[in-house]
A = this chain, B = another copy of it.
Amino acid sequence: MIAKNYLEMLQRKSVIREMAEASAKAAAEIGAENVFDYTLGNPSVPAPPKFTEIMVELLTKKDPVALHGYSPSLGIREVKEAVAQSLNKRFGMSYKGTHIFMTNGAAGALAHALRCVVEKGDEVITFAPFFPEYVPYVTGAGGVLKVVPADTNSFQINFDELEKMLNPKVMAILINTPNNPSGMVYATETIKKLAEILKQKERKYGHDIYIISDEPYREIIFAGVDSPYISRYYDKTLSCYSYSKSLSLPGERIGYVAVNPACRDAETMVAMCGQISRGIGHNCPASIIQLAVSGMLYDTSDLSVYEANKNILYKELTRLGFSCVEPGGTFYIFPRALEEDAVAFCKKAVKYHLYLVPGNSFGVEGYFRMSYCISTEKVKRSIQAFEQLVKEYH
């Protein structure tokens, strides 16, 4: 009698995963250098050498019983305080260590943040295009995910549609900026307007509405782009961060929830995260990884390759007639497909060894996502393949 709901989830295969598997299969057959794999968001630049240095120092200098001992259930105190300080310095906030809950990356952060403010049947609103894992994250927390259709002209927020969908059951707004898959960064004006609307609705409904801000791409911002720190513009914000992308450590599962000190019961919410952990078996990220990242809170990997790739792709795809909004950050771009059926389009692209992901699973039909965390040399070579693909449509 195995649990039916998970068995059913298993039968609905992830489109991203399927395309990635097809790409890996092709790489095995014709050589990885001949395959343009734009499917996965796995950072392509190494972690900073400083990470290795700190890890080796911890391993060789620190008492192993203390080093590998249990982390306190909310995270290691000194690490939490260092994270708070770094956010205060960089974004003018006033976090204390007690506002920080250390997690296994952004997935762990979202699992806790959602359970903090969502109870069974509550609604959570997000904006298309959105990361498909939001469905299991919100459902797993007992909530119902509602998706505001995309404003495909700008990939900012479609406020008219948002206003229609807001209702007293909405307890949280889940936003992701810089955005996977569009690469778009919400402007300060967008955030201010969102905050204003939510404050109005709070008064009207007589209950708090939280912003859960999913920020793994926060450090990947391109030149001249306005990238506001969400929590500065809306008090009831739970910021969910991961070092996966900024430090190229996706496998080491390290991130946090930062609860805005102005939230009612902010420190209590962090303590609640410790209780949430007990039920879901999370129980802290690895101690040594917590300690290591706390020594490099102002560092990033060399992220410049992503902007170089974006510049090439945006220019060349536009030249080839693709309609797309220029990304302000991340390593994603989300152009319009050359036919209405993006799945059919992505299948045609495979002929030219281009592996793209149809936008349907991100809540927008007729678009496709490219993850350009690959070498710039390969991005350049892929343009010819796009040229051939475009010819098919003329």
Contact = CB atoms under 8 A, between A and B. Distances in A.
Interface of A: 1-7, 9-10, 42-47, 51-52, 55-56, 59-60, 63-65, 67-71, 103-105, 107-112, 115-119, 133, 136-137, 139-140, 171, 207-208, 248-254, 265, 268-269, 271-272, 274-276, 278-289
Contacts of A276: 6
Contact of A116 (B6, B103, B116, B269): B6
Given A139-B279, A286-B286, A250 B70 contact: yes
A71 B286 CA distance: 15
B65 A1 contact: no
A316 B51 CA distance: 49
A280 B282 contact: yes
Indicate how many identical chains form the complex: 2
Instruction: Tell me the interface secondary structure of chain A in the complex.
Output: helix
B4 A119 contact: yes
A284 B2 contact: no
A116 B46 CA distance: 36
A265 B65 contact: no
Contacts of A119: 1, 3-5
B52 A107 contact: no
A68 B116 contact: no
B117 A251 contact: no
